[in-house]
Amino acid sequence: MLIRAHHIFCIQGFIGKGYSEQFIENMENIIEKLDNSDPLIEITNAPDCICTACPRLKVSDSQSGNDKISLLGCEVESEVKILDRKVADSLGIGFGKHYPYSELLKKLKYIDEEKFDYICSGCQWYSLGYCKKRIIGI
């Protein structure tokens, strides 16, 4: 399963809210798979299986305009790439590398409040407080 690095954090804070109904349903399905089958995760800093159902993902039809879709990136791709880098560095994981989901959860235990705020304080969901509570228990 391809997951962009900062979504490792977003998954923990998810409480059924999101950008659209389609986004929420896709996120719920992904989290169910993660929790039930501990899949191998490939870490990326580009659009992933969560982004594909997000209204903020920019896509374009192929040259002929038919069935091939190319993913151009999030409408705030440069900002989320910075988040991906911060999360990857804080967890000690690399883009293109593979990890069992359970191993990523173990790495999350080393995130403290200072690191969490450094990474997440600019996010639109930060002020709700769910992510911080679930990731570091505050």
Instruction: Provide the minimum distance between the beta carbon of 61 and ligand SF4 in the complex, in angstroms, as a whole number.
Output: 18
Report whether 60 contacts 69 (CB < 8 A): yes
Please, which residue, 43 or 80, has the CB nearer to ligand SF4? Answer: 80
- Give the contact letters, 64-83, x = binds to ligand SF4 (CB under 6 A), - = no: ----------x-----x---
Q: How far is it, in rounded angstroms, from Cα 30 to Cα 133?
A: 21
Q: Which of 3, 57, 108, 119 binds ligand SF4 (CB under 6 A)?
A: 57
Please, which residue, 61 or 112, has the CB nearer to ligand SF4? Answer: 61
Q: How far is it, in rounded angstroms, from Cα 74 to Cα 51?
A: 8
Please, which residue, 16 or 137, has the CB nearer to ligand SF4? Answer: 16
CA dihedral 59, 35, 114, 49 (to 10 degrees): -10
27 near ligand SF4, judged by CB under 6 A: no
The amino acid that residue 122 corresponds to is G
- Give the contact letters, 28-47, x = binds to ligand SF4 (CB under 6 A), - = no: -------------------x
**Which SS3 state, helix, strand or coil, does residue 54 take?**
coil
